[in-house]
Chains A and B, each alone.
Chain A
Amino acid sequence: MARKVTTRHKVVATVAAWAVALIIFFPILYTIITSFKSETEAIAGFKLIPSFTTESYREVQGQYNYFKPFMNSVILSVGSTLLALLIAVPAAWAMAFSPTKRTKDVLMWMLSTKMMPAVAVLFPMYIIFRDLGLLDSRIGLTVMLTMINLPIVVWMLYTYFREIPGEILEAARMDGASLWNEIVYVLTPMAVPGIASTMLLNIILAWNEAFWTIRLTTTEAAPLTAFISSFSSPQGLFWAKLSAASTLAIAPILIMGWFSQKQLVRGLTFGAVK
């Protein structure tokens, strides 16, 4: 029997949800507010109402070309996501529908690579990239971002695939479907919400990755993370300019996240309630 929800409960829950959302969103909101302040205003202390100057945006645009790092961010995040899916879908399929007694160990091992601090392998990776001629190249960085996010992609897809009854795939096999047809025409359409949310999450992770994208690039492949980093100044006020650069950098991904939030939530909660 459904529990009766009182109006008071609804109000409290709504206010609590808005409060939590505001706390989470506040750093981004304050970055946007700061971007409309003058430099002196920005460092003066906490102030929610800016003077609404667009001076910082003008300076940011005047100082650097936004389009090139923006395009690099798009290429790197979308490219690495597609490449990761190409590898992860068959891998997750194998682990979800043909598990062995080592499957859990393999998954755990894959995830364990995320536990190592990136800086620990900076020098070896730099030397490998140098020797392969991949420093400051989009291809090199796409592969790097794919490798970084692959464990998460495999884990997420594995979780979604496990929710799909194996009997449906068996039925497809009985009807004579090949392995390729089984994955492409039966499994994939059923897992679309899961794949879509994995894709979106991976794009966000790749877009925001700031360790390797700054350290393995100089000018040609540098994405928006490097663009932001260039506005910090050791001698001179820079908070407003940095906030303007950050706002410009996060705007595309924020808009994408806003429009796809339904898909994201649906995917992330897929299988949460059986």
Chain B
Amino acid sequence: MTFKTLILSACSTLAMALAAQAETLTIATVNNGDMIRMQKLTDDFTAKNPDIQLNWVTLEENVLRERVTTDIATKGGQYDVMTIGTYEVPIWAKQNWLLPLDNLGADYDAADIIPAIAGGLSVDGKLYAAPFYGESSFIMYRTDLMEKAGLKMPDAPTWEFVADAARKMTDRAADINGICLRGKAGWGENMAFLTATANSFGARWFDEKWAPQFDQPEWKTTLQFYVDLMKDAGPSGASSNGFNENLALFQQGKCGMWIDATVAASFVSNPKDSTVADKVGYALAPDTGLGKRGNWLWAWSLGVPAGTQKAEAAQKFIAWATGKGYAELVASKEGWANVPPGTRSSLYANPEYQKAAPFAKMTLDSINAADPTKPTVKPVPYTGVQFVAIPEFQGLGTTVGQLFSAALAGQMSVDEALKQAQDAATATMKEGGYIQ
């Protein structure tokens, strides 16, 4: 064997060894600002972990949900890390579709995760997904219009106050709507808002024995209140409005108030896009004095599917993306205001973050005001604030959302919408074996 052959053999063996060591993680995610920022910052991760490469698959939220559900249910093994929400985590964990995150490293500090968020991502005390960013919902309002109406927004208003303020702030001639709320049909669209609102009116989806509750007076009060308020003070075509449509309306100065995700605060207060950036105030979501506020709880989180062959590398990545170090990395590159919110208590104790994000305290208070394990005034057999953590909810929630959206559009009465919602829920629960 010549020296040249020896060298060549050694090189090829080394190359093979390196190739065998290098792992490529495929990460499924949604196209949100924070996720895109993470993709741009992954050089930091690959520099620290040269043996791990990252491939990103970015999809529309509903397509992503369908894709990862198909893959995880069939154990396709196409993804090593999945972006999932607080709805999926408890359901998937119970079906053993997710691996518990028990190898995030000694310096991860899981105890720093905001308890309400950690609770929504844990089953039997084990964390099954790590929160990348968390959110609740709160009121964003125009301070100038509120003042003009002769009112002062309390930190924790009632629905009565909000409705009164909305009607007083409405000025149809100036194209100002007192309040902008979600109306677009979908379990994660209008039903996220309406379910959270219903909680504050004492309503619930099911009683302790899984009997649907749309025939109860609390739901009638909730839906009638919503439809009347939107008729008097909402924008035209509100039944087609979701987060993005209301965001655009608020940024253009066409909404007096907007109740939606806390993550919207960074958009409406950004002078680059918002014409009312310096006139926005924040308050907790309203209540009716029954002990529950109309705010939700959600966290886009990173989980590891049970079918992956790269669990160790996947957890390494999750620890990097959701750890304290990542917040510091974002702050150093793009400022504290751009750090993913709503996941770690330490972020809210940071004076620099408090200074950069004036809505920080209200966001934390809103998150802490939501309890996914006890979401309603009356007892329920399910977890989840703006959803019911059962597999049937996606389909049922969207069906009910379509009925309520039709009621808002005036295509059917509130009574008819509730009757049909009750029938649909009863049929679904019977089919699922929850009730006889």
Q: Which residue of A lies closest to B32 (CB)?
A: A235
Q: Which residue of B lies closest to A228 (CB)?
A: B60
> Do residues A135 and B70 form an inter-chain contact, with CB atoms below 8 A?
no
CB proximity to B under 8 Å, residues A229-250: 229-238
> Do residues A235 and B261 form an inter-chain contact, with CB atoms below 8 A?
yes
CB neighbours (8 Å) of B33 from chain A are 233, 235-236
A64 and B71 CA atoms in complex are apart in Å by 24
CB neighbours (8 Å) of A44 from chain B are 248, 252
Contact of A136 among B78, B264, B273 (CB under 8 A): B78
Contact of A235 among B57, B76, B243, B251 (CB under 8 A): B243
CB neighbours (8 Å) of B26 from chain A are 218-219
A236 and B58 CA atoms in complex are apart in Å by 15
A215 and B70 CA atoms in complex are apart in Å by 9
Contact of B57 among A219, A231, A232 (CB under 8 A): A219
A182 beta carbon closer than 8 Å to chain B: no
Question: At the interface with chain B, which of A3-11, A122-130, A254-262, A264-272?
Answer: A122-130
Q: Which residue of B lies closest to A130 (CB)?
A: B76
A233 and B36 CA atoms in complex are apart in Å by 11
CB neighbours (8 Å) of A209 from chain B are none
CB neighbours (8 Å) of A230 from chain B are 31, 57-60
- Output the least CB separation between A36 and chain B (Å): 18
B267 beta carbon closer than 8 Å to chain A: yes
Q: Which residue of B lies closest to A241 (CB)?
A: B31
CB neighbours (8 Å) of A238 from chain B are 31, 244
CB neighbours (8 Å) of A222 from chain B are 57
Contact of B59 among A43, A64, A229, A237 (CB under 8 A): A229
Q: Which residue of B lies closest to A124 (CB)?
A: B74
> Do residues B247 and A237 form an inter-chain contact, with CB atoms below 8 A?
yes
Contact of A39 among B63, B261, B273 (CB under 8 A): B273
Q: Which residue of A lies closest to B64 (CB)?
A: A229
B67 beta carbon closer than 8 Å to chain A: yes
Contact with A along B106-137 (1 / 0, CB 8 A): 00000000000000000000000000000000
A40 and B277 CA atoms in complex are apart in Å by 14
> Do residues B63 and A229 form an inter-chain contact, with CB atoms below 8 A?
yes
Contact of B67 among A214, A219, A234, A237 (CB under 8 A): A214
- Output the least CB separation between B237 and chain A (Å): 10
CB neighbours (8 Å) of B79 from chain A are 218
Q: Which residue of A lies closest to B272 (CB)?
A: A40
Q: How many residues of A contact B (CB 8 A)?
A: 29
Q: Which residue of A lies closest to B273 (CB)?
A: A40
- Output the least CB separation between A137 and chain B (Å): 11
CB neighbours (8 Å) of A122 from chain B are 70
Q: Which residue of A lies closest to B307 (CB)?
A: A130
> Do residues A232 and B248 form an inter-chain contact, with CB atoms below 8 A?
no
Q: Which residue of B lies closest to A43 (CB)?
A: B248
A214 and B264 CA atoms in complex are apart in Å by 29
Q: Which residue of B lies closest to A215 (CB)?
A: B67
- Output the least CB separation between B216 and chain A (Å): 31
CB proximity to B under 8 Å, residues A123-148: 123, 126-127, 130, 135-136
Q: Which residue of A lies closest to B189 (CB)?
A: A234
CB proximity to B under 8 Å, residues A197-231: 214-215, 218-219, 222, 226, 229-231
A87 and B67 CA atoms in complex are apart in Å by 31
B30 beta carbon closer than 8 Å to chain A: yes
* A218 and B78 in contact, given A229-B63, A233-B30, A235-B243 (Cβ under 8 angstroms): yes
B245 beta carbon closer than 8 Å to chain A: yes
CB neighbours (8 Å) of A226 from chain B are 57, 59
> Do residues A234 and B32 form an inter-chain contact, with CB atoms below 8 A?
yes
A219 and B76 CA atoms in complex are apart in Å by 15
A112 beta carbon closer than 8 Å to chain B: no
- Output the least CB separation between B16 and chain A (Å): 21
A234 and B263 CA atoms in complex are apart in Å by 12
CB neighbours (8 Å) of A235 from chain B are 32-33, 243-244, 261, 263-264
Pick 17 A–B contacts, CB within 8 A, sort by A. A64-B58, A123-B74, A126-B76, A130-B75, A214-B63, A218-B55, A218-B78, A219-B56, A230-B57, A234-B30, A234-B32, A234-B243, A235-B33, A235-B244, A235-B264, A237-B273, A238-B31
- Return the 10 tightest CB-CB contacts between A and B, nearest first: A232-B60, A230-B58, A43-B248, A234-B61, A233-B31, A219-B55, A130-B76, A218-B57, A218-B78, A229-B60
Known A-B contacts: A126-B74, A229-B63. Give 10 more (CB < 8 A). Answer: A40-B248, A130-B75, A130-B76, A214-B63, A215-B70, A218-B57, A218-B79, A229-B59, A234-B188, A235-B32
